[in-house]
Amino acid sequence: MNTGTYDISSLLNQTFTTAEEFGLDKIAETLQRDLDAHNAVVNESIQELTEVTTEREGVYGTSADGEMLEVDEYGRAPTQKEEVGERVAWPLRLFQYNLGWTAKYLQVATPADLAKSQLNAEAAHWRAILRDIKRAIYGSANYTYRDHLIDKALLDIKRFVNADGAGVPNGPNGETFDGDTHTHYDANNGWLASALLASINDVIEHGHGGAVKTAINKADETAVRALSGFVAYPDPRVVYRATDTPGQTLDISRLDNRAIGIFNGAEIWVKSWALDNYPFSWDSADPRKPLRFRQRNQTALQGLRLAAENADYPLYVKFQEAEFGVGVWTRTNGAVLYVGGGTWVDPTIN
């Protein structure tokens, strides 16, 4: 007799009994707990780059502008108009993973079959989120999106600052920027220290300087290490003399997700999601996140979920579904450098 609290590993071990024999209610409860845990991990994992929201539009780019004017004791300075910023929006898309758990299927399928299907769906969900994040980061052109899941309103999806004529907030010292020419999508034919530094400065000059990171692909690590101004983190497997000061050491646990050193104050990270030849810089400590991750207002419709056709039989489902979308939020807190040529080219992201 099966008793106690089950988890996904418990189901994976059940390979010689059918789902109906094991108990559909116990399987449904176990799979739901696993989905809840998966969604919690996803929300935590994306917080470095994104702010989770249920809003679809917001106002970005308001500047604290104006001048203190000298007057005499009877004078009065003229009223100064405030900058109100630009509207930005984020898409909401529906994604599905086909399951086909019919009543007949559950008569012959094992709990392990259902657990494997869910794990595959969770992996596909995470890949879809990473794909949307990459498309939001590396695409340079604004576009219009019809919010077809809500009311079919047209939304203006913006990118990082891209010389589209929109107002750019003033810098921390009152610096002003020309919205018609200022861009955070730069290009250089090959890896050059000055080009990467200029891309990092695109972020810093707007006041994002708390903890600037630059994400690179593993294939670019050798080129970045060779740049003038790069200081590598020491390898912890090397024994240092008593007079040495190793400071932070190199993370050897994960070769495609680790900080490898400092370049002119920015921490260089090898990231599995970073594209080859496209280093991306942002301030990871700034509460004004580069991106927003939009989801439904209704809690029950957030995250990956079983799309049951009948609430009385929660495992009779055709799909696992997720509704989300990713778009740029803080247009100044992100800059990309393309090192594959002298002119910017949008990458193909499948």
Which of 1-10, 56-65, 116-125, 169-178 has the highest mean predicted lDDT (pLDDT)?
A: 116-125
CA distance 268 to 264: 10
Tell me, yes or no, whether 152 lies in a domain: yes
Residue 40 counted as domain residue? yes
Question: Is residue 53 situated within a structural domain?
Answer: yes
Statement: residue 63 has pLDDT above 60: no
pTM: 0.85
Q: For the residues of 87-140, what is the DSSP string, one character each?
A: EEE---EEEEEEEEE-HHHHHH--HHHHHHHHHHHHHHHHHHHHHHHHHHHH--
Residue 209 has pLDDT above 60, yes or no: yes
Amino acid of residue 120? N
Is residue 77, in this structure, part of any structural domain at all? no
**Residue 232 maps to a domain:** yes
Domain count, the chain: 1
In a domain, 67, yes or no: no
Residue of 177, 234, 231, 349 lying closest to 280 (CA atoms) = 349
> What pLDDT digit, counting tens, does each position of 3-16 carry?
556 677 778 878 88
Query: Residue 133 falls within a domain, yes or no?
Result: yes
Query: Where in the sequence is the domain holding 292, given as residue range(s)?
Result: 8-61+84-338
69 occurs within a structural domain: no
Q: pLDDT for 153-204, tens place per residue?
A: 999 999 999 999 998 988 888 888 999 999 999 999 999 999 999 999 999 9
